[in-house]
Amino acid sequence: MTDGLGGANVLVTGAAGFLGSHLCEALLDAGARVSGLDNETTGSSAAVAHLADRDDFTYRRCDVAEPLPDLPPADVVMHLASIASPVAYRRMPLETLRSGSAGTLNMVELAAKNRARFVFSSTSEVYGDPLEHPQTESYWGHVNPIGPRAVYDESKRFGEAAIVGARAAWGVDAGIVRIFNTFGPRMALDDGRAVPAFIDQAVRGVPLTVSGSGLQTRSLCYVDDTIDGLMRMAASDREGPINIGNPVEHTVLELAETIVRITGSSSSIVHGPMPPDDPQRRRPDITRARDELAWEPTVDLETGLHRTLDWYLDQRDASWAVTAPVR
Protein backbone atom coordinates (compact mmCIF):
# COMPACT_ATOMS: atom_id res chain seq x y z
CA MET A 1 0.00 0.00 0.00
CA THR A 2 3.00 2.36 -0.06
CA ASP A 3 3.49 2.18 -3.84
CA GLY A 4 1.96 5.63 -4.25
CA LEU A 5 4.95 7.24 -2.53
CA GLY A 6 7.40 6.37 -5.31
CA GLY A 7 8.48 9.59 -7.00
CA ALA A 8 6.68 11.76 -4.44
CA ASN A 9 8.28 14.80 -2.84
CA VAL A 10 7.97 14.18 0.90
CA LEU A 11 8.76 16.69 3.64
CA VAL A 12 9.53 15.11 7.03
CA THR A 13 9.75 17.15 10.22
CA GLY A 14 11.61 15.68 13.16
CA ALA A 15 13.84 13.99 10.57
CA ALA A 16 16.84 13.71 12.89
CA GLY A 17 14.89 11.96 15.62
CA PHE A 18 14.39 8.28 16.33
CA LEU A 19 11.24 7.76 14.26
CA GLY A 20 12.02 10.53 11.77
CA SER A 21 15.37 9.11 10.72
CA HIS A 22 13.87 5.66 10.13
CA LEU A 23 11.00 7.22 8.19
CA CYS A 24 13.35 9.17 5.90
CA GLU A 25 15.28 5.99 5.14
CA ALA A 26 12.13 3.97 4.41
CA LEU A 27 10.68 6.69 2.17
CA LEU A 28 13.88 6.85 0.15
CA ASP A 29 13.86 3.08 -0.22
CA ALA A 30 10.28 3.37 -1.53
CA GLY A 31 11.44 5.77 -4.25
CA ALA A 32 10.41 9.09 -2.71
CA ARG A 33 12.46 12.28 -2.72
CA VAL A 34 12.82 13.40 0.89
CA SER A 35 13.46 16.78 2.51
CA GLY A 36 14.16 16.47 6.23
CA LEU A 37 13.79 19.22 8.83
CA ASP A 38 14.81 19.20 12.48
CA ASN A 39 15.90 21.81 15.02
CA GLU A 40 18.01 19.14 16.78
CA THR A 41 16.61 19.93 20.22
CA THR A 42 16.49 16.21 20.94
CA GLY A 43 17.48 14.79 17.54
CA SER A 44 20.90 14.72 15.90
CA SER A 45 21.97 15.07 12.29
CA ALA A 46 24.14 12.01 12.97
CA ALA A 47 20.95 9.94 12.73
CA VAL A 48 20.65 10.79 9.02
CA ALA A 49 24.35 11.18 8.22
CA HIS A 50 24.29 7.89 6.30
CA LEU A 51 21.76 9.48 3.90
CA ALA A 52 23.72 12.69 3.27
CA ASP A 53 25.31 11.59 -0.02
CA ARG A 54 22.02 10.61 -1.63
CA ASP A 55 20.80 12.89 -4.42
CA ASP A 56 17.19 12.27 -3.38
CA PHE A 57 17.68 13.46 0.20
CA THR A 58 18.20 16.94 1.65
CA TYR A 59 18.44 17.93 5.28
CA ARG A 60 18.03 21.32 6.89
CA ARG A 61 18.24 22.48 10.48
CA CYS A 62 14.99 24.32 11.06
CA ASP A 63 12.54 25.01 13.91
CA VAL A 64 9.08 24.42 12.46
CA ALA A 65 7.47 26.38 15.31
CA GLU A 66 9.13 29.54 13.95
CA PRO A 67 8.23 31.30 10.67
CA LEU A 68 9.24 28.85 7.96
CA PRO A 69 11.98 29.53 5.41
CA ASP A 70 11.44 28.84 1.73
CA LEU A 71 11.00 25.10 1.40
CA PRO A 72 10.80 22.87 -1.67
CA PRO A 73 7.37 21.88 -3.01
CA ALA A 74 5.88 18.86 -1.29
CA ASP A 75 3.34 16.24 -2.31
CA VAL A 76 3.30 14.81 1.23
CA VAL A 77 4.11 16.46 4.56
CA MET A 78 4.77 14.13 7.50
CA HIS A 79 4.88 16.02 10.78
CA LEU A 80 6.85 14.12 13.42
CA ALA A 81 8.62 17.09 15.07
CA SER A 82 8.01 16.78 18.81
CA ILE A 83 9.82 16.53 22.11
CA ALA A 84 8.57 13.09 23.12
CA SER A 85 11.07 12.03 25.78
CA PRO A 86 9.68 12.28 29.34
CA VAL A 87 13.04 13.57 30.54
CA ALA A 88 13.25 16.17 27.76
CA TYR A 89 9.69 17.49 27.87
CA ARG A 90 9.94 18.06 31.61
CA ARG A 91 13.12 20.01 31.00
CA MET A 92 11.65 21.93 28.05
CA PRO A 93 7.91 22.28 28.70
CA LEU A 94 7.26 25.39 26.61
CA GLU A 95 9.31 24.12 23.66
CA THR A 96 7.22 20.94 23.77
CA LEU A 97 3.98 22.89 23.68
CA ARG A 98 5.22 25.11 20.86
CA SER A 99 6.22 22.22 18.60
CA GLY A 100 2.79 20.65 19.00
CA SER A 101 0.88 23.89 18.56
CA ALA A 102 2.69 26.52 16.47
CA GLY A 103 4.72 23.82 14.72
CA THR A 104 1.66 21.83 13.74
CA LEU A 105 -0.23 24.91 12.54
CA ASN A 106 2.77 26.02 10.45
CA MET A 107 3.16 22.64 8.80
CA VAL A 108 -0.51 21.98 8.11
CA GLU A 109 -0.75 25.46 6.56
CA LEU A 110 2.24 24.58 4.37
CA ALA A 111 0.47 21.38 3.33
CA ALA A 112 -2.64 23.39 2.46
CA LYS A 113 -0.62 25.76 0.26
CA ASN A 114 1.03 22.82 -1.51
CA ARG A 115 -2.23 20.86 -1.71
CA ALA A 116 -0.22 18.09 -0.13
CA ARG A 117 -1.25 15.04 1.84
CA PHE A 118 -0.55 15.73 5.55
CA VAL A 119 0.16 13.09 8.20
CA PHE A 120 0.25 14.10 11.87
CA SER A 121 2.02 11.77 14.28
CA SER A 122 -0.06 11.86 17.43
CA THR A 123 0.40 9.51 20.36
CA SER A 124 -1.27 7.00 22.63
CA GLU A 125 -0.68 9.58 25.37
CA VAL A 126 -3.87 11.34 24.23
CA TYR A 127 -5.65 8.50 26.04
CA GLY A 128 -3.86 9.33 29.32
CA ASP A 129 -4.26 6.72 32.04
CA PRO A 130 -7.13 5.03 30.19
CA LEU A 131 -10.39 3.89 31.71
CA GLU A 132 -11.12 1.93 28.51
CA HIS A 133 -9.09 -1.16 27.63
CA PRO A 134 -7.93 -1.79 24.98
CA GLN A 135 -8.01 1.76 23.64
CA THR A 136 -10.12 2.44 20.55
CA GLU A 137 -9.89 5.61 18.51
CA SER A 138 -13.37 6.65 19.67
CA TYR A 139 -12.19 6.86 23.29
CA TRP A 140 -11.74 10.48 24.44
CA GLY A 141 -9.13 9.73 27.06
CA HIS A 142 -8.48 10.29 30.76
CA VAL A 143 -5.83 13.01 30.84
CA ASN A 144 -4.68 15.37 33.60
CA PRO A 145 -4.29 18.75 31.82
CA ILE A 146 -2.08 20.20 34.58
CA GLY A 147 -0.07 17.12 35.53
CA PRO A 148 3.64 16.44 34.94
CA ARG A 149 2.92 14.81 31.55
CA ALA A 150 0.49 17.49 30.40
CA VAL A 151 2.81 19.50 28.16
CA TYR A 152 3.32 16.50 25.88
CA ASP A 153 -0.17 15.01 26.16
CA GLU A 154 -1.94 18.29 25.56
CA SER A 155 0.38 19.36 22.74
CA LYS A 156 -0.69 16.26 20.84
CA ARG A 157 -4.36 16.71 21.72
CA PHE A 158 -4.11 20.29 20.44
CA GLY A 159 -2.39 19.02 17.30
CA GLU A 160 -5.26 16.66 16.56
CA ALA A 161 -7.76 19.50 17.01
CA ALA A 162 -5.66 21.67 14.67
CA ILE A 163 -5.84 19.00 11.98
CA VAL A 164 -9.62 18.81 12.27
CA GLY A 165 -9.78 22.59 12.06
CA ALA A 166 -7.49 22.70 9.02
CA ARG A 167 -9.66 20.15 7.22
CA ALA A 168 -12.71 22.33 7.81
CA ALA A 169 -11.08 25.69 7.06
CA TRP A 170 -8.63 24.82 4.29
CA GLY A 171 -9.80 21.48 2.94
CA VAL A 172 -6.49 19.82 3.82
CA ASP A 173 -6.12 16.12 2.98
CA ALA A 174 -4.90 15.24 6.47
CA GLY A 175 -4.60 12.05 8.48
CA ILE A 176 -3.88 11.42 12.16
CA VAL A 177 -2.00 8.40 13.49
CA ARG A 178 -1.78 7.66 17.21
CA ILE A 179 1.56 5.96 17.79
CA PHE A 180 1.93 3.60 20.73
CA ASN A 181 5.23 2.71 22.42
CA THR A 182 7.84 2.08 19.72
CA PHE A 183 11.39 0.83 20.18
CA GLY A 184 14.43 -0.02 18.12
CA PRO A 185 17.85 1.23 17.00
CA ARG A 186 18.68 4.95 17.40
CA MET A 187 16.68 5.47 20.57
CA ALA A 188 18.49 7.70 23.06
CA LEU A 189 19.53 5.94 26.24
CA ASP A 190 18.94 8.89 28.53
CA ASP A 191 15.35 9.81 27.70
CA GLY A 192 13.54 7.71 30.29
CA ARG A 193 12.24 5.02 27.90
CA ALA A 194 12.23 1.51 29.25
CA VAL A 195 13.80 -0.51 26.41
CA PRO A 196 17.05 1.45 25.88
CA ALA A 197 17.45 2.09 29.58
CA PHE A 198 17.02 -1.57 30.50
CA ILE A 199 19.37 -2.71 27.74
CA ASP A 200 22.07 -0.30 28.86
CA GLN A 201 21.71 -1.28 32.50
CA ALA A 202 21.73 -4.99 31.68
CA VAL A 203 24.80 -4.73 29.45
CA ARG A 204 26.67 -2.77 32.14
CA GLY A 205 25.61 -5.25 34.82
CA VAL A 206 23.91 -2.69 37.04
CA PRO A 207 20.41 -3.12 38.50
CA LEU A 208 17.48 -2.52 36.18
CA THR A 209 15.31 0.20 37.72
CA VAL A 210 11.58 -0.47 37.41
CA SER A 211 8.96 2.07 38.48
CA GLY A 212 6.48 0.80 41.05
CA SER A 213 5.58 -2.87 41.06
CA GLY A 214 6.35 -3.20 37.36
CA LEU A 215 2.90 -4.68 36.77
CA GLN A 216 1.84 -1.69 34.65
CA THR A 217 1.58 -2.79 31.03
CA ARG A 218 2.87 -1.49 27.73
CA SER A 219 2.37 -2.61 24.13
CA LEU A 220 5.72 -2.40 22.38
CA CYS A 221 5.99 -2.09 18.61
CA TYR A 222 9.26 -2.51 16.71
CA VAL A 223 10.22 0.58 14.75
CA ASP A 224 10.03 -1.04 11.29
CA ASP A 225 6.38 -1.89 11.88
CA THR A 226 5.52 1.61 13.11
CA ILE A 227 7.21 3.17 10.08
CA ASP A 228 5.27 0.86 7.77
CA GLY A 229 2.06 2.09 9.37
CA LEU A 230 3.05 5.73 8.91
CA MET A 231 3.86 5.17 5.25
CA ARG A 232 0.60 3.36 4.61
CA MET A 233 -1.23 6.29 6.14
CA ALA A 234 0.70 8.72 3.92
CA ALA A 235 -0.19 6.74 0.79
CA SER A 236 -3.88 6.57 1.73
CA ASP A 237 -6.69 9.11 1.91
CA ARG A 238 -7.73 8.10 5.44
CA GLU A 239 -8.45 10.80 8.00
CA GLY A 240 -8.04 8.77 11.18
CA PRO A 241 -7.23 8.88 13.93
CA ILE A 242 -5.78 5.41 13.50
CA ASN A 243 -3.91 3.55 16.23
CA ILE A 244 -0.48 2.27 15.20
CA GLY A 245 0.93 -0.08 17.80
CA ASN A 246 1.38 -3.68 18.84
CA PRO A 247 -1.75 -5.15 20.47
CA VAL A 248 0.31 -7.66 22.48
CA GLU A 249 0.51 -6.45 26.09
CA HIS A 250 3.51 -6.96 28.41
CA THR A 251 4.20 -5.82 31.95
CA VAL A 252 7.22 -3.58 32.50
CA LEU A 253 8.59 -6.22 34.88
CA GLU A 254 8.26 -8.89 32.17
CA LEU A 255 10.13 -6.59 29.79
CA ALA A 256 12.96 -6.13 32.29
CA GLU A 257 13.21 -9.89 32.91
CA THR A 258 13.29 -10.59 29.16
CA ILE A 259 16.12 -8.11 28.61
CA VAL A 260 18.13 -9.59 31.49
CA ARG A 261 17.71 -13.01 29.89
CA ILE A 262 18.60 -12.11 26.30
CA THR A 263 21.65 -10.10 27.37
CA GLY A 264 22.86 -12.87 29.64
CA SER A 265 23.22 -10.23 32.35
CA SER A 266 23.76 -10.79 36.04
CA SER A 267 21.80 -7.61 36.81
CA SER A 268 19.15 -7.61 39.48
CA ILE A 269 15.85 -5.75 39.22
CA VAL A 270 15.08 -3.01 41.72
CA HIS A 271 11.91 -0.97 42.18
CA GLY A 272 11.52 2.78 42.48
CA PRO A 273 8.56 5.11 42.97
CA MET A 274 5.82 5.29 40.39
CA PRO A 275 5.75 8.60 38.49
CA PRO A 276 2.54 10.64 38.86
CA ASP A 277 -0.18 9.96 36.26
CA ASP A 278 1.73 7.00 34.84
CA PRO A 279 -0.67 4.87 32.75
CA GLN A 280 -1.38 1.52 34.35
CA ARG A 281 -2.45 -0.24 31.15
CA ARG A 282 -1.71 0.56 27.55
CA ARG A 283 -2.86 -1.53 24.58
CA PRO A 284 -4.17 -0.42 21.20
CA ASP A 285 -7.19 -1.75 19.43
CA ILE A 286 -5.85 -1.92 15.85
CA THR A 287 -9.05 -2.99 14.11
CA ARG A 288 -9.16 0.29 12.18
CA ALA A 289 -5.52 -0.07 11.05
CA ARG A 290 -6.20 -3.59 9.84
CA ASP A 291 -9.39 -2.61 8.01
CA GLU A 292 -8.33 0.73 6.52
CA LEU A 293 -4.57 0.34 6.01
CA ALA A 294 -4.20 -3.46 5.84
CA TRP A 295 -1.59 -2.97 8.57
CA GLU A 296 -0.55 -4.94 11.60
CA PRO A 297 2.83 -5.51 13.23
CA THR A 298 4.93 -8.47 12.12
CA VAL A 299 7.97 -8.29 14.44
CA ASP A 300 7.50 -9.92 17.85
CA LEU A 301 8.94 -8.36 20.99
CA GLU A 302 11.89 -10.69 21.48
CA THR A 303 13.02 -10.45 17.83
CA GLY A 304 12.86 -6.67 18.06
CA LEU A 305 14.79 -6.66 21.33
CA HIS A 306 17.56 -8.78 19.82
CA ARG A 307 17.85 -6.39 16.86
CA THR A 308 17.93 -3.41 19.22
CA LEU A 309 20.53 -5.05 21.45
CA ASP A 310 22.76 -5.82 18.46
CA TRP A 311 22.64 -2.17 17.41
CA TYR A 312 23.43 -0.87 20.89
CA LEU A 313 26.36 -3.25 21.25
CA ASP A 314 27.73 -1.93 17.96
CA GLN A 315 27.29 1.68 19.11
CA ARG A 316 28.26 1.26 22.74
CA ASP A 317 30.10 4.17 24.29
CA ALA A 318 31.61 4.49 27.76
CA SER A 319 29.72 7.74 28.33
CA TRP A 320 26.34 6.02 28.35
CA ALA A 321 24.70 5.92 31.75
CA VAL A 322 21.12 5.48 32.87
CA THR A 323 20.21 5.50 36.54
CA ALA A 324 16.71 6.98 36.77
CA PRO A 325 13.61 4.79 37.09
CA VAL A 326 12.00 4.29 33.71
CA ARG A 327 8.53 3.66 32.39
Residues marked as catalytic: 152
Please give the distance of CA 136 from its chain centroid, rounded to a whole number.
18
Nearest alpha carbon to residue 229 among 15, 19, 84? 19
Residues contacting residue 288 through CB under 8 Å, at least 6 positions apart: 136, 137, 240, 242, 243
CB 284 within 8 A of CB 135: yes
CB 58 within 8 A of CB 12: no
Q: How far is CA 27 from CA 57, 227, 271, in A?
A: 10, 9, 41
Q: How far is CA 78 from CA 24, 45, 71, 120, 164, in A?
A: 10, 18, 14, 6, 16
